[in-house]
Amino acid sequence: DGKKVPRLEYEGYVPMAEKEMESICKQIRERWEVEHIAMEHRLGICPIQEASVLIAVSSAHRKEALEAAQYAIDTLKSSVPIWKKEFYETDDSSAVWKENKEWAGGSLIGGAQILEDAATSSSSDSQLA
């Protein structure tokens, strides 16, 4: 649209997002031999120059880690219900909730942080971002 976006806002329903992110970690472990997985998505205001998503995967082999990380971000964007609102430099009242074209859901819910370690893969630690 050509409008400058100084910040974004993310909203969500944390319990559902945590469940989906835990499921993604489980799917990754079923497909690749990885050591550690870390996934985080911010909620609230996020300045445009800051990261809103963090995904890190460690493995003995870089190909597996890279494939697993790619799967994690693609699946997070398609299955974890997180919504983004763009604020424009000229007018906060013209802020717009942006549709995540990859996501198949419908209502305004989602957003959480999941940290999973190989030693605790059966019971992940969950925290709000």
pLDDT at 73: 96
Report whether 104 contacts 79 (CB < 8 A): yes
- Residue 3, classed as helix, strand or coil, is coil
Q: Is the confidence at residue 3, as pLDDT, over 70?
A: yes
pLDDT at 95: 73
pLDDT at 117: 36
DSSP string, 50-76: S-SEEEEEE-SSHHHHHHHHHHHHHHH
Please name each of the domains of the chain with its CATH number.
7-121 (3.90.1170.40)
* Residue 125 confidence class, pLDDT cut points 50, 70, 90: very low
Provide the whole-model pTM: 0.71
β pairing state of 44-47 and 7-11: antiparallel
pLDDT digits (tens, 9 = 90+) for 25-76: 999 999 999 999 999 999 999 999 999 999 999 999 999 999 999 999 999 9
